[in-house]
Amino acid sequence: MLGLLKRDLALAVRAGGGFGLSLAFFLIFATLVPFGVGPQTQVLQTIAPGILWLGALLACLLSLDRIFQLDWEDGTLDLLATAPVPLEGVAAMKALSHWITTGLPLVLAAPVLGLLLNLPLPAYPWLVASLALGTPALSAIGTFGAALTVGIKRGGLLLSLLVLPLYVPTLIFGALAVIRGAEGQDATTPLILLAGITLGALAILPFAAAAALRINLR
Amino acid sequence: MASLWEYANPRKFMTVSAAILPWVWGLAAVCLVGGLVWGFFFTPDDFRQGSTVKIIYVHVPSAIMAVNAWFMMLVTSLIWLIRRHHVSALAAKAAAPVGMVFTLIALATGAIWGQPMWGTWWEWDPRLTSFLILFLFYLGYMALWEAVDNPDAAADLTSVLCLVGSVFAVISRYALVFWNQGLHQGATLSLDAEQNIADVFWYPLITALAGFGFLFLALVLYRTRTEIRARRLKALIAQERMA
Protein backbone atom coordinates (compact mmCIF):
# COMPACT_ATOMS: atom_id res chain seq x y z
CA MET A 1 0.00 0.00 0.00
CA LEU A 2 2.89 2.31 0.75
CA GLY A 3 4.35 1.40 -2.63
CA LEU A 4 1.09 2.44 -4.23
CA LEU A 5 1.19 5.75 -2.40
CA LYS A 6 4.79 6.36 -3.52
CA ARG A 7 3.91 5.50 -7.08
CA ASP A 8 0.93 7.86 -7.13
CA LEU A 9 2.94 10.67 -5.62
CA ALA A 10 5.78 10.16 -8.09
CA LEU A 11 3.34 10.14 -10.98
CA ALA A 12 1.75 13.32 -9.71
CA VAL A 13 4.99 15.21 -9.17
CA ARG A 14 6.67 14.23 -12.43
CA ALA A 15 5.82 15.51 -15.86
CA GLY A 16 2.16 15.61 -16.81
CA GLY A 17 0.92 14.74 -13.36
CA GLY A 18 -0.67 18.10 -12.80
CA PHE A 19 0.74 18.50 -9.31
CA GLY A 20 0.62 22.28 -9.08
CA LEU A 21 -2.47 22.74 -11.22
CA SER A 22 -5.06 22.79 -8.47
CA LEU A 23 -2.87 25.14 -6.49
CA ALA A 24 -2.67 27.48 -9.48
CA PHE A 25 -6.43 27.21 -9.89
CA PHE A 26 -6.89 28.19 -6.24
CA LEU A 27 -4.68 31.24 -6.79
CA ILE A 28 -6.53 32.31 -9.94
CA PHE A 29 -9.89 31.80 -8.29
CA ALA A 30 -8.93 34.03 -5.36
CA THR A 31 -7.53 36.61 -7.79
CA LEU A 32 -10.68 36.71 -9.87
CA VAL A 33 -13.01 37.29 -6.93
CA PRO A 34 -12.08 40.98 -6.42
CA PHE A 35 -12.69 41.56 -10.15
CA GLY A 36 -16.17 40.16 -9.66
CA VAL A 37 -17.20 41.89 -6.45
CA GLY A 38 -15.03 45.00 -6.48
CA PRO A 39 -11.86 45.87 -4.60
CA GLN A 40 -13.47 47.32 -1.42
CA THR A 41 -11.57 45.82 1.47
CA GLN A 42 -14.70 45.86 3.61
CA VAL A 43 -16.60 43.59 1.24
CA LEU A 44 -13.62 41.33 0.65
CA GLN A 45 -13.09 40.99 4.36
CA THR A 46 -16.63 39.71 4.90
CA ILE A 47 -16.62 37.19 2.09
CA ALA A 48 -12.99 36.05 2.37
CA PRO A 49 -13.70 32.97 4.55
CA GLY A 50 -16.36 31.68 2.20
CA ILE A 51 -14.29 32.45 -0.91
CA LEU A 52 -11.24 30.65 0.42
CA TRP A 53 -13.27 27.58 1.35
CA LEU A 54 -15.12 27.57 -1.97
CA GLY A 55 -11.83 27.94 -3.84
CA ALA A 56 -10.30 25.02 -1.97
CA LEU A 57 -13.40 22.94 -2.63
CA LEU A 58 -13.45 23.68 -6.36
CA ALA A 59 -9.71 23.10 -6.66
CA CYS A 60 -10.23 19.69 -5.05
CA LEU A 61 -13.17 18.97 -7.32
CA LEU A 62 -11.31 19.74 -10.52
CA SER A 63 -8.54 17.26 -9.78
CA LEU A 64 -10.90 14.40 -8.85
CA ASP A 65 -11.21 12.79 -12.26
CA ARG A 66 -7.45 12.20 -12.29
CA ILE A 67 -7.69 9.86 -9.29
CA PHE A 68 -8.77 6.75 -11.15
CA GLN A 69 -9.09 7.78 -14.79
CA LEU A 70 -5.49 7.20 -15.93
CA ASP A 71 -5.22 3.92 -14.02
CA TRP A 72 -8.51 2.83 -15.54
CA GLU A 73 -7.40 3.62 -19.07
CA ASP A 74 -4.06 1.82 -18.97
CA GLY A 75 -5.38 -1.16 -17.01
CA THR A 76 -3.51 -0.51 -13.78
CA LEU A 77 -6.78 -0.57 -11.92
CA ASP A 78 -7.49 -4.14 -13.03
CA LEU A 79 -4.08 -5.19 -11.74
CA LEU A 80 -4.70 -3.42 -8.47
CA ALA A 81 -8.05 -5.15 -8.13
CA THR A 82 -6.44 -8.57 -8.53
CA ALA A 83 -3.45 -7.69 -6.34
CA PRO A 84 -3.30 -9.02 -2.76
CA VAL A 85 -3.91 -5.48 -1.45
CA PRO A 86 -7.58 -5.03 -0.51
CA LEU A 87 -9.40 -2.65 -2.82
CA GLU A 88 -10.53 -0.67 0.23
CA GLY A 89 -6.88 -0.02 0.97
CA VAL A 90 -6.29 1.06 -2.61
CA ALA A 91 -9.18 3.52 -2.37
CA ALA A 92 -7.88 4.89 0.92
CA MET A 93 -4.36 5.30 -0.52
CA LYS A 94 -5.76 7.03 -3.59
CA ALA A 95 -7.62 9.45 -1.36
CA LEU A 96 -4.49 10.03 0.70
CA SER A 97 -2.33 10.72 -2.34
CA HIS A 98 -5.01 13.06 -3.69
CA TRP A 99 -4.96 14.89 -0.37
CA ILE A 100 -1.16 15.16 -0.31
CA THR A 101 -1.03 16.50 -3.86
CA THR A 102 -3.99 18.91 -3.66
CA GLY A 103 -5.33 19.31 -0.12
CA LEU A 104 -2.05 19.86 1.66
CA PRO A 105 -0.72 22.54 -0.75
CA LEU A 106 -4.08 24.30 -0.46
CA VAL A 107 -3.80 24.36 3.31
CA LEU A 108 -0.32 25.83 3.08
CA ALA A 109 -1.23 28.40 0.43
CA ALA A 110 -4.50 29.54 1.99
CA PRO A 111 -2.96 32.05 4.47
CA VAL A 112 -1.22 33.89 1.62
CA LEU A 113 -4.47 34.16 -0.29
CA GLY A 114 -6.18 35.21 2.91
CA LEU A 115 -3.74 38.12 2.95
CA LEU A 116 -4.76 39.04 -0.60
CA LEU A 117 -8.44 38.97 0.35
CA ASN A 118 -7.83 40.98 3.51
CA LEU A 119 -8.90 38.22 5.89
CA PRO A 120 -9.01 39.53 9.50
CA LEU A 121 -6.00 38.54 11.56
CA PRO A 122 -7.68 36.32 14.20
CA ALA A 123 -9.12 34.12 11.44
CA TYR A 124 -5.77 32.75 10.20
CA PRO A 125 -5.28 29.91 12.70
CA TRP A 126 -8.90 28.86 12.20
CA LEU A 127 -8.49 28.99 8.41
CA VAL A 128 -5.46 26.70 8.47
CA ALA A 129 -6.98 24.40 11.07
CA SER A 130 -10.35 24.10 9.32
CA LEU A 131 -8.74 23.45 5.93
CA ALA A 132 -6.34 20.93 7.43
CA LEU A 133 -9.25 19.13 9.10
CA GLY A 134 -11.70 19.49 6.23
CA THR A 135 -9.74 18.80 3.05
CA PRO A 136 -9.21 15.09 3.90
CA ALA A 137 -13.01 14.74 3.90
CA LEU A 138 -13.12 16.47 0.51
CA SER A 139 -10.56 13.99 -0.85
CA ALA A 140 -12.35 10.97 0.62
CA ILE A 141 -15.77 12.04 -0.69
CA GLY A 142 -14.21 12.89 -4.04
CA THR A 143 -12.52 9.50 -4.28
CA PHE A 144 -15.91 7.88 -3.79
CA GLY A 145 -17.39 10.06 -6.53
CA ALA A 146 -14.48 9.29 -8.86
CA ALA A 147 -14.92 5.56 -8.18
CA LEU A 148 -18.62 5.81 -9.07
CA THR A 149 -17.98 7.53 -12.40
CA VAL A 150 -14.73 5.85 -13.44
CA GLY A 151 -16.30 3.80 -16.23
CA ILE A 152 -18.16 6.74 -17.74
CA LYS A 153 -16.68 8.61 -20.66
CA ARG A 154 -16.53 12.36 -20.09
CA GLY A 155 -17.88 11.84 -16.59
CA GLY A 156 -16.40 15.06 -15.25
CA LEU A 157 -19.64 17.03 -15.17
CA LEU A 158 -21.56 14.12 -13.72
CA LEU A 159 -18.85 13.76 -11.10
CA SER A 160 -19.39 17.36 -10.01
CA LEU A 161 -23.14 16.87 -9.87
CA LEU A 162 -22.71 13.81 -7.65
CA VAL A 163 -19.97 15.14 -5.41
CA LEU A 164 -21.01 18.74 -4.77
CA PRO A 165 -24.17 17.92 -2.76
CA LEU A 166 -22.05 15.58 -0.65
CA TYR A 167 -19.66 18.46 0.06
CA VAL A 168 -22.36 20.56 1.72
CA PRO A 169 -21.79 19.64 5.39
CA THR A 170 -18.01 19.92 5.09
CA LEU A 171 -18.29 23.34 3.49
CA ILE A 172 -20.80 24.58 6.05
CA PHE A 173 -18.72 23.66 9.09
CA GLY A 174 -15.39 24.61 7.50
CA ALA A 175 -16.50 28.06 6.39
CA LEU A 176 -18.39 28.60 9.63
CA ALA A 177 -15.23 27.98 11.65
CA VAL A 178 -13.36 30.64 9.65
CA ILE A 179 -16.27 33.11 9.80
CA ARG A 180 -16.48 32.76 13.57
CA GLY A 181 -12.72 33.12 13.78
CA ALA A 182 -12.86 36.28 11.67
CA GLU A 183 -15.43 37.72 14.07
CA GLY A 184 -13.07 37.01 16.92
CA GLN A 185 -15.26 34.29 18.40
CA ASP A 186 -14.27 30.85 19.52
CA ALA A 187 -14.71 28.42 16.61
CA THR A 188 -14.06 25.16 18.40
CA THR A 189 -17.60 23.80 17.96
CA PRO A 190 -17.78 23.88 14.14
CA LEU A 191 -14.18 22.68 14.05
CA ILE A 192 -15.03 19.64 16.16
CA LEU A 193 -18.09 18.88 14.02
CA LEU A 194 -15.91 19.25 10.92
CA ALA A 195 -13.40 16.81 12.36
CA GLY A 196 -16.28 14.44 13.06
CA ILE A 197 -17.39 14.56 9.43
CA THR A 198 -13.82 13.98 8.25
CA LEU A 199 -13.34 10.99 10.53
CA GLY A 200 -16.70 9.55 9.51
CA ALA A 201 -15.91 10.04 5.83
CA LEU A 202 -12.48 8.44 6.23
CA ALA A 203 -14.01 5.47 8.04
CA ILE A 204 -16.90 4.76 5.68
CA LEU A 205 -16.13 6.06 2.22
CA PRO A 206 -13.12 3.87 1.27
CA PHE A 207 -15.50 0.90 1.59
CA ALA A 208 -18.15 2.61 -0.54
CA ALA A 209 -15.49 3.60 -3.09
CA ALA A 210 -14.15 0.04 -3.21
CA ALA A 211 -17.68 -1.29 -3.73
CA ALA A 212 -18.18 1.14 -6.60
CA LEU A 213 -14.82 0.18 -8.13
CA ARG A 214 -15.71 -3.54 -7.96
CA ILE A 215 -18.97 -2.85 -9.78
CA ASN A 216 -17.19 -0.82 -12.44
CA LEU A 217 -14.47 -3.40 -12.93
CA ARG A 218 -16.93 -6.29 -13.34
CA MET B 1 -49.42 -16.41 1.51
CA ALA B 2 -45.91 -17.75 1.29
CA SER B 3 -43.65 -14.74 1.59
CA LEU B 4 -43.34 -11.14 0.59
CA TRP B 5 -40.46 -11.96 -1.73
CA GLU B 6 -42.77 -13.83 -4.08
CA TYR B 7 -43.75 -10.46 -5.53
CA ALA B 8 -40.14 -9.82 -6.46
CA ASN B 9 -40.72 -12.18 -9.36
CA PRO B 10 -41.35 -9.84 -12.30
CA ARG B 11 -44.17 -11.93 -13.73
CA LYS B 12 -45.94 -12.11 -10.38
CA PHE B 13 -45.32 -8.41 -9.83
CA MET B 14 -46.84 -7.57 -13.19
CA THR B 15 -49.98 -9.61 -12.46
CA VAL B 16 -50.51 -8.24 -8.98
CA SER B 17 -49.70 -4.64 -9.88
CA ALA B 18 -52.02 -4.80 -12.89
CA ALA B 19 -54.79 -5.97 -10.56
CA ILE B 20 -54.33 -3.32 -7.87
CA LEU B 21 -53.25 -0.38 -10.02
CA PRO B 22 -56.78 0.81 -10.98
CA TRP B 23 -57.78 0.71 -7.31
CA VAL B 24 -54.73 2.74 -6.29
CA TRP B 25 -55.42 5.29 -9.04
CA GLY B 26 -59.04 5.46 -7.91
CA LEU B 27 -58.13 5.94 -4.25
CA ALA B 28 -55.59 8.59 -5.20
CA ALA B 29 -58.18 10.48 -7.26
CA VAL B 30 -60.89 10.23 -4.59
CA CYS B 31 -58.58 11.30 -1.75
CA LEU B 32 -56.92 14.08 -3.74
CA VAL B 33 -60.11 15.57 -5.11
CA GLY B 34 -61.91 15.08 -1.81
CA GLY B 35 -59.12 16.44 0.36
CA LEU B 36 -58.27 19.39 -1.86
CA VAL B 37 -61.87 20.46 -2.55
CA TRP B 38 -62.67 20.08 1.15
CA GLY B 39 -59.57 22.00 2.10
CA PHE B 40 -59.88 24.75 -0.48
CA PHE B 41 -63.60 25.50 -0.26
CA PHE B 42 -65.02 24.16 2.99
CA THR B 43 -62.53 25.22 5.64
CA PRO B 44 -62.44 28.62 7.32
CA ASP B 45 -59.60 31.06 6.61
CA ASP B 46 -56.82 31.28 9.13
CA PHE B 47 -57.22 34.35 11.34
CA ARG B 48 -53.73 35.60 10.61
CA GLN B 49 -52.81 34.14 7.24
CA GLY B 50 -56.18 34.53 5.53
CA SER B 51 -56.86 32.24 2.61
CA THR B 52 -53.15 31.73 1.81
CA VAL B 53 -53.12 29.02 4.47
CA LYS B 54 -54.95 26.76 2.05
CA ILE B 55 -51.83 26.03 0.08
CA ILE B 56 -50.91 23.84 3.03
CA TYR B 57 -53.03 21.06 1.53
CA VAL B 58 -50.56 20.80 -1.35
CA HIS B 59 -47.38 21.97 0.34
CA VAL B 60 -47.23 19.69 3.38
CA PRO B 61 -48.24 16.41 1.67
CA SER B 62 -45.83 16.93 -1.21
CA ALA B 63 -43.00 17.80 1.18
CA ILE B 64 -43.70 14.68 3.24
CA MET B 65 -43.83 12.51 0.13
CA ALA B 66 -40.62 14.08 -1.23
CA VAL B 67 -38.70 12.83 1.80
CA ASN B 68 -40.53 9.50 1.91
CA ALA B 69 -39.80 8.87 -1.75
CA TRP B 70 -36.09 9.08 -1.02
CA PHE B 71 -36.58 6.80 1.96
CA MET B 72 -38.39 4.30 -0.26
CA MET B 73 -35.49 4.48 -2.74
CA LEU B 74 -33.11 3.76 0.14
CA VAL B 75 -35.09 0.67 1.19
CA THR B 76 -35.45 -0.66 -2.38
CA SER B 77 -31.76 0.01 -3.03
CA LEU B 78 -30.88 -2.02 0.06
CA ILE B 79 -33.16 -4.84 -1.08
CA TRP B 80 -31.47 -4.79 -4.48
CA LEU B 81 -27.98 -4.83 -2.99
CA ILE B 82 -28.80 -7.62 -0.54
CA ARG B 83 -31.27 -9.85 -2.38
CA ARG B 84 -30.66 -8.90 -6.04
CA HIS B 85 -34.33 -8.54 -6.98
CA HIS B 86 -34.49 -6.62 -10.23
CA VAL B 87 -37.97 -5.29 -9.55
CA SER B 88 -36.63 -3.56 -6.47
CA ALA B 89 -33.90 -1.75 -8.39
CA LEU B 90 -36.37 -0.72 -11.07
CA ALA B 91 -38.79 0.55 -8.43
CA ALA B 92 -36.02 2.78 -7.04
CA LYS B 93 -35.34 4.05 -10.55
CA ALA B 94 -39.04 4.67 -11.09
CA ALA B 95 -39.47 6.52 -7.80
CA ALA B 96 -36.68 9.05 -8.35
CA PRO B 97 -38.38 11.38 -10.87
CA VAL B 98 -41.62 11.22 -8.88
CA GLY B 99 -39.80 12.19 -5.70
CA MET B 100 -37.98 14.94 -7.55
CA VAL B 101 -41.26 16.42 -8.78
CA PHE B 102 -42.71 16.29 -5.26
CA THR B 103 -39.61 18.16 -4.05
CA LEU B 104 -40.14 20.77 -6.74
CA ILE B 105 -43.83 21.11 -5.85
CA ALA B 106 -42.92 21.58 -2.19
CA LEU B 107 -40.34 24.24 -3.11
CA ALA B 108 -42.65 26.03 -5.54
CA THR B 109 -45.71 26.05 -3.28
CA GLY B 110 -43.44 27.11 -0.43
CA ALA B 111 -42.21 30.06 -2.49
CA ILE B 112 -45.77 31.02 -3.46
CA TRP B 113 -46.82 30.77 0.18
CA GLY B 114 -43.72 32.53 1.45
CA GLN B 115 -44.12 35.57 -0.77
CA PRO B 116 -47.26 37.00 0.93
CA MET B 117 -46.37 35.63 4.39
CA TRP B 118 -42.66 36.34 4.75
CA GLY B 119 -42.43 38.94 1.99
CA THR B 120 -39.84 36.87 0.13
CA TRP B 121 -39.90 34.08 -2.42
CA TRP B 122 -36.80 32.49 -1.10
CA GLU B 123 -34.93 32.57 2.16
CA TRP B 124 -31.80 30.62 3.11
CA ASP B 125 -33.67 28.84 5.83
CA PRO B 126 -32.50 25.35 6.88
CA ARG B 127 -35.70 23.64 5.79
CA LEU B 128 -35.83 25.36 2.42
CA THR B 129 -32.15 24.83 1.80
CA SER B 130 -32.26 21.17 2.72
CA PHE B 131 -35.07 20.65 0.23
CA LEU B 132 -32.98 22.33 -2.42
CA ILE B 133 -30.15 19.96 -1.57
CA LEU B 134 -32.53 17.00 -1.66
CA PHE B 135 -33.49 18.15 -5.14
CA LEU B 136 -29.80 18.11 -6.14
CA PHE B 137 -29.46 14.59 -4.73
CA TYR B 138 -32.39 13.47 -6.89
CA LEU B 139 -30.77 15.09 -9.94
CA GLY B 140 -27.43 13.37 -9.32
CA TYR B 141 -29.11 10.01 -8.72
CA MET B 142 -31.09 10.22 -11.96
CA ALA B 143 -28.09 11.46 -13.93
CA LEU B 144 -26.07 8.45 -12.77
CA TRP B 145 -28.85 6.09 -13.90
CA GLU B 146 -28.77 7.72 -17.31
CA ALA B 147 -24.99 7.70 -17.62
CA VAL B 148 -24.24 4.00 -17.05
CA ASP B 149 -25.01 1.69 -19.96
CA ASN B 150 -25.01 -1.70 -18.26
CA PRO B 151 -28.34 -1.89 -16.39
CA ASP B 152 -27.03 -4.07 -13.55
CA ALA B 153 -23.99 -1.88 -12.99
CA ALA B 154 -26.23 1.20 -13.10
CA ALA B 155 -28.51 -0.32 -10.48
CA ASP B 156 -25.54 -1.19 -8.27
CA LEU B 157 -23.86 2.20 -8.58
CA THR B 158 -27.04 4.17 -7.98
CA SER B 159 -27.83 2.00 -4.95
CA VAL B 160 -24.41 2.72 -3.45
CA LEU B 161 -24.90 6.42 -4.22
CA CYS B 162 -28.34 6.30 -2.59
CA LEU B 163 -26.89 4.80 0.62
CA VAL B 164 -24.02 7.29 0.86
CA GLY B 165 -26.29 10.13 -0.22
CA SER B 166 -28.79 9.30 2.53
CA VAL B 167 -26.10 9.58 5.17
CA PHE B 168 -24.90 12.90 3.80
CA ALA B 169 -28.44 14.22 3.33
CA VAL B 170 -29.15 13.64 7.02
CA ILE B 171 -25.84 15.25 8.04
CA SER B 172 -26.60 18.22 5.75
CA ARG B 173 -30.02 18.61 7.32
CA TYR B 174 -28.51 19.07 10.80
CA ALA B 175 -25.53 21.05 9.54
CA LEU B 176 -27.98 23.54 8.03
CA VAL B 177 -29.79 23.94 11.34
CA PHE B 178 -26.42 24.82 12.81
CA TRP B 179 -25.65 27.16 9.93
CA ASN B 180 -28.62 29.52 9.92
CA GLN B 181 -31.66 30.36 11.99
CA GLY B 182 -34.92 29.35 10.40
CA LEU B 183 -37.88 31.40 9.24
CA HIS B 184 -39.95 28.32 8.54
CA GLN B 185 -42.38 27.20 11.22
CA GLY B 186 -41.92 23.89 13.00
CA ALA B 187 -43.29 20.61 11.73
CA THR B 188 -46.98 20.79 10.90
CA LEU B 189 -47.52 17.13 11.59
CA SER B 190 -45.72 14.99 14.08
CA LEU B 191 -46.70 11.65 15.44
CA ASP B 192 -46.08 12.40 19.10
CA ALA B 193 -48.10 15.62 19.32
CA GLU B 194 -51.42 15.50 21.19
CA GLN B 195 -53.22 17.58 18.59
CA ASN B 196 -51.28 18.94 15.62
CA ILE B 197 -53.71 21.48 14.24
CA ALA B 198 -57.39 22.16 14.75
CA ASP B 199 -59.64 19.37 13.51
CA VAL B 200 -61.26 21.49 10.77
CA PHE B 201 -57.85 21.71 9.05
CA TRP B 202 -56.61 18.33 10.17
CA TYR B 203 -59.16 16.07 8.44
CA PRO B 204 -58.83 17.55 4.92
CA LEU B 205 -55.05 17.66 5.36
CA ILE B 206 -54.92 13.99 6.27
CA THR B 207 -57.15 13.18 3.30
CA ALA B 208 -54.91 15.14 0.94
CA LEU B 209 -51.87 13.42 2.46
CA ALA B 210 -53.43 10.01 1.82
CA GLY B 211 -54.18 11.18 -1.72
CA PHE B 212 -50.56 12.16 -2.32
CA GLY B 213 -49.44 8.82 -0.85
CA PHE B 214 -51.72 6.85 -3.16
CA LEU B 215 -50.70 9.03 -6.09
CA PHE B 216 -47.06 8.28 -5.36
CA LEU B 217 -47.78 4.55 -5.07
CA ALA B 218 -49.73 4.56 -8.33
CA LEU B 219 -47.05 6.48 -10.21
CA VAL B 220 -44.27 4.26 -8.91
CA LEU B 221 -46.15 1.06 -9.75
CA TYR B 222 -46.98 2.41 -13.18
CA ARG B 223 -43.41 3.51 -13.88
CA THR B 224 -41.98 0.26 -12.54
CA ARG B 225 -44.24 -1.66 -14.92
CA THR B 226 -42.99 0.53 -17.75
CA GLU B 227 -39.39 -0.15 -16.76
CA ILE B 228 -40.01 -3.90 -16.64
CA ARG B 229 -41.60 -3.78 -20.07
CA ALA B 230 -38.70 -1.72 -21.41
CA ARG B 231 -36.28 -4.28 -19.98
CA ARG B 232 -38.21 -7.13 -21.63
CA LEU B 233 -38.26 -5.27 -24.92
CA LYS B 234 -34.51 -4.78 -24.75
CA ALA B 235 -34.03 -8.50 -24.09
CA LEU B 236 -36.27 -9.36 -27.04
CA ILE B 237 -34.36 -7.04 -29.36
CA ALA B 238 -31.10 -8.56 -28.20
CA GLN B 239 -32.50 -12.03 -28.90
CA GLU B 240 -33.57 -11.00 -32.38
CA ARG B 241 -30.09 -9.76 -33.11
CA MET B 242 -28.53 -12.98 -31.90
CA ALA B 243 -30.84 -15.09 -34.06
Interface pTM (ipTM) of the complex? 0.87
Return the higher-pLDDT residue of A152 and B217. Answer: B217
Computed over every residue of chain A, the mean pLDDT equals 88
The secondary structure element, H or E, covering residue A91 is: helix A87-98
Task: Give the residue-averaged pLDDT of A114-134.
Answer: 90
Choose the weakest-confidence range: B137-146, B190-199, B203-212.
B190-199
| Per-residue confidence (pLDDT) for residue A62, from 0 to 100 | 87
What is the largest distance, in Å, between two alpha-carbon atoms of chain A?
A: 57
The 3-state DSSP composition of chain A as helix, strand, coil percent (nearest 5) reads 80, 0, 20
- Spell out the alpha helix ranges (H) of A99-187: 104-116, 123-148, 156-182
Q: Which residue of B has its CA nearest to A162?
A: B140
Interface A–B counts its CB contacts (< 8 A) at 74
Q: Is A166 on the interface with B (CB under 8 A)?
A: yes
What's the pTM? 0.89
A130: confidence class by pLDDT, cuts 50, 70, 90: very high
Q: What is the CA radius of gyration of chain B?
A: 20
B178: confidence class by pLDDT, cuts 50, 70, 90: confident
| Per-residue confidence (pLDDT) for residue B190, from 0 to 100 | 62
Q: Is B138 on the interface with A (CB under 8 A)?
A: no
pLDDT digits (tens, 9 = 90+) for A145-183: 999 998 887 778 899 999 999 999 999 999 999 988 888
CB contact under 8 A, A208 and B144: no
pLDDT above 80: residue A54? yes
pLDDT above 90: residue B41? no
Q: Is B160 on the interface with A (CB under 8 A)?
A: yes
Instruction: Compute the distance between CA of residue A106 and CA of residue B125 in angstroms, rounded to an integer.
Output: 31
Out of B147, B164, B178, the one facing A158 most closely (by C-beta) is: B147
CB contact under 8 A, A165 and B175: no
Instruction: Enumerate the residues of chain A whose CB falls inside 8 A of the CB of residue B89.
Output: none
Q: At a CB cut-off of 8 Å and minimum separation 6, what does B151 contact?
A: B231
Q: Determine the residue among A148, A153, A205 to mutate to test chain B binding: the one whose Cβ has the most chain B Cβ atoms within 10 Å.
A: A148
Instruction: Enumerate the residues of chain B whose CB falls inside 8 A of the CB of residue A176.
Output: 178-179
How close is the nearest chain A Cα to the Cα of B132, in Å?
A: 10
